[in-house]
Each structure stands twice: as structure tokens, then as C-alpha cells.
Amino acid sequence: MSDDMLLAYLVSSFPGKTEDIATEALCHVFDQSDACVDALNGVVQSGVHDIDPIHTVQTQVIGVDGTRPDLVCFDQADQENETGQERVLIEVKFWAPLTAHQPNGYVKRLPEDGPAVLMFLVPDDRVRYLWPRMRMRLKREFVHLEEIESERRCVRIRGSQRHLMVVSWESLLDAMAARTSDSGEPGPVTQIRQLRSLARYTDKEAFKPIRPGNEFGNDSDIRLRQYRRLVDATTEEGTSQGWADRKGLRATPKPYGYGRYVRLHGAVVWFGIHTGLFEATGKTALWASRHQSYADEPDVSRELGKEDRDWYHKHGRHWFPIDLRRDAEYPQVLAGVVESLKGYGDALQAARRAVELRASDSTVRASASAEATEAS
């Protein structure tokens, strides 16, 4: 392990602590380096030009409303305020989802006696996904937002001096490295490299949105691990909702990929990764199929939309494509897979009921015919 990989090693050794480790490391750098604080000020002021400069940065500062941003940045202390005023709140993110209180609850915490900013620090690839989602959440409560003309994605709540900004890890670390180089401070150089390595490691392992047109390619090993995670999470969600059942069934990998057996409304289905169909169709990596197929198996295509129904008849009636949402983050992708698998189970159930109803009608007609024959 190289010296630059220490933080990445700690993250791999303590799953679920990525943001906590990054937050403490970043706060330590700001505490040790005036040049890095100057760089942070430069990044903030590139979006909100007239904001008071940051002087100190702290972690674990709980507000009166119970909110606890990752980092709280204070301006210059004075006789009236010995610690300074909270001026910038920073949420340290990689690919973890937003919480229910983000960003609205944290925006409300910002002071109103001057310009203030809530900043989200995220990977460069995530900026374009997270920004519209946060703006949408803000507009639900604050309605009117004013775009700030700057090099940053930044808005102001109309009628106030509260701002929301999104900044990439890459741009902040670049600014810190440049300012450190200009100042001649040698200390932070290694720490900034550590943070870069952590950001690269976390970004590499994260479930990133599947781009439109994405095909089975060089990232397949990472994607296969992520699809496996989706298979397990989907069956767990189905079990908790009551429309799926795994009792007595187990994960059963096939030559074409990882998967598991699960009951959907009583029908045993194999659900998982099918690399062959993914490569052949480019449609999706996840598929479902009845455990056993019979000549009189219900045709679930009747319950599908036209596009899926056409595909279904073209490629074989025993494999069902499970939707993988493109250009969406993990929570939305998981919700789509859950919805698609449940829809397949509902279609099987509806088709089976239709077959049973036809069988019942046939029995009634046969019985009526027999009675009529006997009466004659």
C-alpha cells in the first residue's frame, strides 16, 4: 500500500464510514493550513462574491434545530461573538443519497444577517445528477430561486441572502493544492494527495448512474458486483413488502451470472444477471424467468406494454427483462428494479388467473353439455 492510500485503506476497512473519515481528514487539513482555508474561501467567493471570509472550520456542531452538518465554517470572531458566526455549512458527500432534511433543513439553519452558503462537496461526475434534485427539493418549500452568475452551480433563496452551492472534490482539491504551492506550505501536500486518493477510490467503487447507451464493457467487473447488490436488495425489499418470498430458496448462480430463486405470488422465479442476454440485446443486465416452463405456461406478455411485448415475442417468452433505469442514482435504480420485478410477478399472477378462469369455464361448459346429453 502506498503512502497516498492510507485514507482509502481506512475506508475499505470501515464500510459505511467513508463520509465520516473524509470529513475528519478535511477538517484536519483546514485546521493545519491557512493556505487551504484561503483556497476554500476562494471557492466559496467564486459563487457568492460578498460573503465574509471563513476563519475556522469545525465538525460535529449541532444546531438548535438538531441539524448536524459535516463541517461548519465560522467567520472572524469579535467581541459580540467569540466564535464567529456560522457562515458556510459543508456537506461532505460521495455517492451516498440525500437525507430527508437535505438540503432544506440545512438551508434554514443558515444565518440571515449576511450572505451565507450551504455547500455540497461531491464527485465531479455526480454534480449534474445531484444539482437538479436539490433544486427541486428547495422549490417545494422556498418556491423562488435566483440563479447566481458564477463558475459554480449556485442559487439564492429569493428575498434572503441564503445560498445553495455544489462543488466538486476535484475543483476544491485543485484549489487547495494551488494555494499551498503558492504559499510554500509543505505540510498539506501529502494530506491533499491522501484526499485525492480517497476520492478516486470511493468514486471507482460507487454505483454510478448507467449512462444512456452504456454497454457491457471495460467496467463490467465493477458493474457485475453492483448488479449483484441490486439482486439481493430487490429480493429483500420484495420480501419486506410481502409480494416476494425466499423461504426454502437460495442464491443460485448460473453460467451467465449471479442470481437467486424467489417466489412471486407463489410462482418460483430465478432472478438475476444474464450476461448473454445483456450482450445480445443491450437492453438490461437483469432478467427473470420461471423456474419451470410448461407448454401451457401463461403468456405474461398480455400484461406488458407494446415495446416490451414486441421484444418478449421476438426473443423468447421464458425470459423477462427487468428494468434498469438509466441516468439515475442508486436509490432510483433500485426502486425501478423493485417495481419491474413486482410487475413481472403481478403479470404471472394475472395470467395464471386467466388460465384458471378459462379452465373453470371449460369445466362448467363440459358439465353443462354432459347434463344436457344425459337429459336427452
Mean pLDDT, all residues of the chain: 84
Helix, strand, or coil here: 120?
strand
pLDDT at position 334 is 96
What does the pLDDT look like over 55-70, one tens digit per residue?
A: 999 998 888 777 889 9
Task: Give the model's confidence band at 279: pLDDT under 50 very low, under 70 low, under 90 confident, else very high.
Answer: confident
CA 343 to chain centre: 22
pLDDT of residue 373: 58
Residue 361: pLDDT band with limits 50, 70, 90: low
What average pLDDT score do residues 141-157 get? 89
Per-residue pLDDT of 17-43, as tens digits, reads 788 888 999 999 999 999 999 999 999
The β-bridge partners of 58 are: 72
Split at pLDDT 50, 70, 90, the class of 341 is very high
| Residue 322 to residue 111: CA distance in whole angstroms | 47
- The 10s digit of each residue's pLDDT in 108-139 is 999 988 999 999 999 998 998 899 999 999 99
Round to whole Å and give the CA distance between 311 and 316.
8
0.85 surpassed by pTM: no
Q: Which pLDDT band, with edges at 50, 70 and 90, does 218 fall under?
A: very low
| Average pLDDT rounded to a whole number, residues 165-172 | 95
The answer to whether 296 touches 275, Cβ cutoff 8 Å, is no
Asked whether residue 370 carries a pLDDT value surpassing 70, the answer given is: no
**Region label for 185, one of left (φ > 0), alpha (ψ between -120 and 50) or beta (otherwise):** beta
Instruction: Give the max Cα distance, the chain.
Output: 111
Cβ atoms of 285 and 278 within 8 Å: the answer is: yes
Answer whether residue 375 shows pLDDT above 60.
Answer: no
Q: Give the long-range contacts of residues 321-325, CB within 8 A, separation 24 or more.
A: 321/277, 321/281, 321/283, 321/284, 321/286, 321/287, 322/271, 322/284, 322/286, 322/287, 322/288, 323/284, 324/210, 324/230, 324/284, 324/285, 324/286, 325/210
Report whether pLDDT(200) > 70. Answer: yes
Which residues 6+ apart lie within 8 Å of 178 measured at CB? 39
